[in-house]
Amino acid sequence: MAKFEYVAWLVQWLLSKLEFEFEWDHGNSSKSLQKHGIEMLTAEQVFYNKECLVPLGIQVAPISNEPRFAALGMDLLGNMLFVSFTIREGKIRVISIRPMSQLERKKYGQVREE
């Protein structure tokens, strides 16, 4: 399981942006749809639903060849989702999106209560 470390600039960046640009890799977008039934537009909703967005930070394990980040959030239907992404030239490139695990739901609830 991946581990993440809090990064203050990421929180500020995600919460202050009014518009996001997304870059989609066909393999990643079809993988999330096939594996988890989640479409690209649903992933984008997580970033725009800011009152429900909880950035986890930068991935510290396992190490990848480019910085990876993660966030917990909800789409507009209230589905609780985990999204892994990278930022390339200011654009969000979603690596994976899936329903939150039970542990992630617990953490999400705790952070939202604070």
Ordered by where they begin, the domains of the chain are 3-113 (3.30.2310)
> Is the pLDDT assigned to residue 51 strictly greater than 80?
yes
Global pTM reads: 0.90
Beta bridge partners of 81: 73, 99
Per-residue pLDDT at 45: 94
CB crowding 87-97: b at 16 or more within 10 Å, else e: beeeebbbbbb
| 3-state SS assignment for residue 51 | helix
Rounded to an integer, what is the distance from CA 61 to the centroid of its chain?
A: 16
Mean per-residue pLDDT, 80-97:
94
Report residue 85's pLDDT band, with 50, 70 and 90 as the boundaries: very high
User: Tens of pLDDT along 17-47?
Assistant: 889 999 987 777 787 888 888 988 899 999 9
Could you give the 3-state DSSP secondary structure of residue 38?
A: coil
Per DSSP, the chain holds a count of helices (H) and strands (E) of 4, 5
